[in-house]
Amino acid sequence: MTTANRSVRNRIATLGILLVLFSSFSALGKSPQAGWESLYGETQQLKRATQYPEALSRGRKALALANEAGVPAELAASNQIVGEIQLAIGQMAAAERSLEQAVKHWQNSSMPKPILEATSWSTLGGIYRVQGQLEKAEQAYHHSIKILETSVGDSHPKLSSAFNGLGSLYLKQGKLARAESTFIRALAIRENALNENDPATASCLINLSAVYLAQKKFDAAERRLKQASAIQAKSIGEQHPGRATTFQALAKLYLIKNEDERARPLLKSALAIQEKALGRKNTALVETLNLLGATHKRSGEFDEAESNYRRALKIAENTYGPNHPLSGACYHNLGVLQADQGLLASAERNFKKALQTMPSAGSNPARLVTLKHLEALYDSSGRTEEAQELLSPGKNTP
């Protein structure tokens, strides 16, 4: 079978499944509350257009109608789309609650539901991954994959999303070979099922580039990122948040290669796109601000670096609180900046705050980096015994 025929077959299959799903909303679970389907459709359109505040307002109205009717399918669909919007605007805890409700209602529904239920599980996996709940994340991804492989086969486009999430989990755990093979499988599914210029294909390429970056295969990483950027330029335009993700990834590559003059313009463009599309308080800005701060730090522009780091920290703390790993990364960056300026007491406080957000059990690369910075600080202060004990087994909690 040719790639073109396979693409047509998969699209027809997907359309058929969606028709079954939406006809089931009407035939099996029609809400006595007029307007639910209209509100749900409006929410989808606004979400696709990244008009998130308006989409969330419509979605909550749809959820209110579904709650009155008590129809599991409508409750599940409403909770799911509300959760996805909350996630997009950085309301992580609220998104987790909404998606857990969606999963519960899908399990109680008698309508055909595999694609939407699998999407709920996969999105939940992403939330758990970001929160550091890695075991729950892996279980959620595998649950999503099992549902899809059982119901629609092993080449459906939605499987790519679940494999991308699972690959990101492996990457976070430092399991680079498993991450690479998982991302390659996700990319193959997308390329076989969709047009090669589909934005989802670009997302797979960006993920794969992160593995090559970790493996120090810089040329391979850059090729994948430029390929992704070219796809996005044709498919989503210049102001979509997805473009910011690619600019950010390219900037990270250039920073590793000490090409700061190429990184900084990309980070400024990424930040402008994110602020316009997502708002100035969205957690998507945190990494961009931290990277931008790093370019200023390396140029000796300490005030500008601190301004970016503190803004990133404020967003992370306001969203997740001080004990979240994202806040920990910001504390670490501030600590390094302060140590470089000789502000050792402030640096020590921030390193210790960072360590409080990082699990001490098992292998934790980020924790080890922070511990080594703290060890160097103790050494430079003449606190030799504390430095020696810091990395001793069982004694790495200051």
Q: What is the CATH number of the domain that holds 296?
A: 1.25.40.10
Identity of residue 128: Y
Q: Which residues contact 244 (CB under 8 A, 6 or more apart)?
A: 269, 270, 271, 273, 274, 277, 284, 288
**All residues at 6 or more sequence positions from 254 whose CB lies less than 8 Å from its CB, including other chains:** 260, 262, 263, 266
Distances (CA, A) of 245 to 151, 202, 210, 287, 382: 32, 10, 12, 10, 43
Pair 144, 286 in one domain: yes
Which amino acid appears at position 251 of this protein? A
Residues 113, 148 within the same domain:
yes
Q: Where does the pLDDT of residue 365 fall: very low under 50, low under 70, confident under 90, or very high at 90 and above?
A: confident
pLDDT over threshold 70, residue 112: no
Residue 59 lies in a domain: yes
Q: Are 306 and 297 in contact (CB under 8 A)?
A: no
Tell whether 273 and 221 lie within a shared domain: no
What pLDDT shows up at residue 6?
A: 45
Q: Give the chain's domain count.
A: 2
Percent of the chain as helix, strand, coil, to the nearest 5: 80, 0, 20
Domain boundary among 250, 268, 286: 268
45 domain-assigned: yes
Tell whether 315 is covered by a domain.
yes
Could you report the per-residue pLDDT of 141-191, keeping only the tens digit for each? 999 999 999 998 888 888 998 999 999 999 988 899 999 999 999 999 988
- Based on the fold, state whether residues 73 and 21 are members of the same structural domain: yes
- State whether 70 and 139 are in the same domain: yes
| In a shared domain, residues 163 and 263 | no
The answer to whether 281 and 318 have CB atoms below 8 angstroms apart is yes
Taking the model in full, what pTM does it have?
A: 0.68
Cβ neighbours around 26 below 10 Å, total? 10
> What is the extent of the structural domain holding 35?
3-197+269-390
The last residue of a domain, from among 268, 292, 327: 268
The closest alpha carbon to 101, from 148, 61, 50, 67, belongs to 67
The residue among 271 and 385 whose pLDDT is bigger is 271
Same domain, 192 and 85: yes
Q: Is residue 380 part of a domain?
A: yes
Residue 396 DSSP code:
-
Of 23-37, 83-97, 142-156, 235-249, the range with the lowest mean pLDDT is 23-37
Q: 265-303 burial, b for 16+ CB within 10 Å, e for fewer?
A: ebbebbbebbbebbeeebbbbbbbbbbbbbbbbeeeebe
Cα separation, 4 vs 13, whole angstroms = 14
pLDDT, tens only, 256-301: 999 999 999 999 999 999 999 888 988 889 999 999 999 999 999 9
Nearest to 374 by CA among 353, 341, 342, 352: 352
Based on the fold, state whether residues 49 and 158 are members of the same structural domain.
yes
Q: Kindly state whether residues 285 and 249 are assigned to the same domain.
A: no
Query: Please, what is the average pLDDT of the chain?
Result: 86
396 located within any domain: no
Which CATH number does the domain housing residue 247 bear?
1.25.40
In a domain, 154, yes or no: yes
Confidence of residue 33 (pLDDT cuts 50, 70, 90): low
- For residue 397, tell me if it sits in a domain: no
Asked if 215 and 228 sit in the same domain, the reply is: yes
Q: At which of 242, 268, 294 does a domain end? A: 268
Q: Residues 186, 307: one domain? A: yes
What distance in Å separates the CA atoms of residue 186 and residue 260, rounded to the nearest whole number?
32
pLDDT of residue 108: 84
Q: What is the pLDDT of residue 8?
A: 39
Q: Which two tokens stand for residue 287?
A: 């990494």
The reply to whether 395 falls in a domain is: no
Domain co-membership, 274 together with 145: yes
